[in-house]
Structure 1
Amino acid sequence: MPIGNVTRGTTGTNRLRRVDRWIAALPVLRRTDDPLVADLGYGASPTTTLELRDRLARVRPDVEVTGIEIEPERVRVARLAERDGVTFRLGGFETPTPRGRRPAVIRAFNVLRQYAEDEVPAAWALMTDRLQPDGVLVEGTCNEVGRVASWIDVTRGGPQTLTVSLRLAGLEAPSIVAERLPKALIHRNVPGERVHDYLRALDHAWAVAAPLGTYGPRQRWIATVRAMRDRGWPVLHGVTRWRLGEVTVPWSAVAPV
């Protein structure tokens, strides 16, 4: 039997574009001999699964994407949209795949929000156990239009990084992501927790960089992330990623106390 609960199924065109861009840059996707990606919990429509395959095919033309849903009617409908490189299967956190192949990447977005925080480790373990040795589970959440998103990269060794990705135009404060943090962190945004300190520091750096808004929100954001790094936060990557509205830190910087 599939493991998990039926989600609300909310989905929409372009909703997951930010995380898709992240997955397309993952080294494992480019290096693997078996470029299989599992899209776990794609929802009431297969739209975002089809978009994922199209985006990944730009960097890995032979990529295959398998959409996995726990609700049988959603799978029946999605199978009508199957095409080259895209299939759909009934399943849950056990992540069934064609011929039992191990995915290089599993995307599980807006799936764990309805679960209790203490259920997250077991779900992570089930999914990462299905990965290729260097595979990555990308687990996170976003708002309804995909302008506010965050995700955790999880490997067989546990959570590795937290990424925040925001639409910069009109952004008032980076802490808007607080309501869209992954389940492992969303209840930890309280004084005394690392993620709370992190979001407060981001807001402060964003406010200080306000004068650079004259040159556009992108320049303001780059200055914000650079200031975070200068103040001791272990920010990863560089301007190429930052200019996309992203900031990534090691899990240790935000892990629950």
Structure 2
Amino acid sequence: MAVHDSVSLQIPVRLRAVSGRARPVGSITRGTTNPNRLRRCDRWLAGPQAWRLRGGTAAPIVVDLGYGASPITAVELHERLRRVRPDVEVVGIEIDPERVAAAKPLERPGLTFRRGGFEVPLDGARPMVIRAFNVLRQYDESYVAGAWAQLQSRLAPGGLLVDGTCDEVGRRATWVAVDSSGPISLTISLRLRGMDRPSDVAERLPKVLIHRNVPGEPVHAYLADLDETWARQAPHASWGARQRFLATAAELAERWPLTDGPARWRLGEITVAWDAVAPATGPPRH
């Protein structure tokens, strides 16, 4: 099922189902997934974002939206987050009923699966986190604002939408964090060993940015500066890629509003404030 609303990044509107509200909103994705593919984002949710799960007395709900042909990412998410909050409720949501049926035997206390799409059907409950990885990548860029708006409307107070993309085995990942006010940051997470240059992650940018990696766009300038700084810090390579990346991030922080520090940088992870890399006004240039 396709979504026909045409939206701009400046004027978000909600996506609607083509044939009425009763049907899931969105399209069936390709469904490619692998064990540990989303471990980098899981680690971030269980680290810098753990405060969102620990607050309050009610069990927080975390949604793995569009988990794909295998429910393994939802299973892993539950295993990792219950170390932070034992009573966390992880809900895997998929638009394909066959995928949901295949996942049902894996249900257990704190982990359930149900059919749905961008409407996030939770019987009136509101999730603290919605993770949508490799989902919007398969839509046109014009759908992003509407999808974000609909997902934002489903969040609990203080909740977070994570719109991300990664490669098939999770060695390169990026994600945009979106709260009720809008996007707040862009995170890049890389396997440092064997990495040529940080901008190799460009092909895994979220849909909202992937077509913006061209001269004149802020995200292009950011990646170019990241590469140049990585090159300048080559002398640190004798102590390993981790030390080189730490030095790279420390220098980059002098020019860009990074929101994290060495504890995350040593993992190959770096987060910058959204305003610094947000798309320039107007349609993307190809």
> The TM-score by the shorter chain falls in which range?
over 0.9
Q: Find the counterpart in structure 1 of residue 271 from structure 2.
A: 248
Q: Which residue of 2 aligns with 1:197?
A: 221
Tell me if structure 2 keeps the 8 A contact 1:163–1:249.
yes
Structure 2 counterpart SS, 1:80: helix
Equivalent residue for 1:131?
155
Q: List aligned pairs for 1:1-257, cutoff 5 A.
A: 1-25=23-47, 26=49, 27-32=51-56, 33-97=58-122, 99-230=123-254, 232-257=255-280
Unaligned runs of 5+ in 2: 1-22, 281-286
One-letter amino acid of the counterpart of residue 186, structure 1: I
One-letter identity of the residue aligned with 1:101: A
Q: Name the SS for the 1:118 alignment partner.
A: helix
Structure 1 residue identity aligned to 2:169? V
Q: Output one character per residue of 1:93-119: Cα deviation in whole Å (capped at 9) or x when no partner.
A: 01112x421000000000001111111
TM-score (norm 2): 0.88
1:34 deviates by: 3.2
Q: Deviations over 1:134-155 (max 9, x none)?
A: 1000111000000000000001
Q: Give the distance between the partners of 1:61 and 1:243, measured in 2 at CA.
A: 27
- Distance in 1 separating the partners of 2:103 and 2:199: 36
Which deviates the most, 23-32 or 70-79?
Answer: 23-32
Which letter maps to 1:251?
W
Question: For structure 1, which runs of at least 5 residues remain unmatched after alignment?
Answer: none
Q: Which runs of 4+ in 1 moved over 2 A?
A: none
Give 3-state SS (helix, strand or coil) of 1:100's partner.
coil
CA contact (8 A) 1:34 1:104 kept: no
Moved more, 195-204 or 55-64: 55-64
Check conservation: 1:206, 1:221, Cα contact below 8 A: yes
Residue 209 of structure 1 aligns with an amino acid whose one-letter code is: Q
Q: How many residue pairs get matched?
A: 255
Aligned 8 A contact 1:138 1:151 in 2: yes
Deviation, structure 1 residue 92? 0.2
What letter corresponds to residue 185 of structure 1 in structure 2?
L
TM-score (norm 1): 0.98
Which structure is higher in helix share?
1
Tell me, yes or no, if the aligned pair for 1:148 and 1:180 is still in contact at 8 Å. yes
SS at match of 2:253: helix
The CA RMSD over aligned residues, in Å, is 0.8
Q: Which amino acid aligns with 1:44?
A: A
Q: Give 1:35 deviation, angstroms.
A: 1.1
| Percent identical residues | 61
**Which residue of structure 1 lines up, in the alignment, with residue 17 of structure 2?**
none
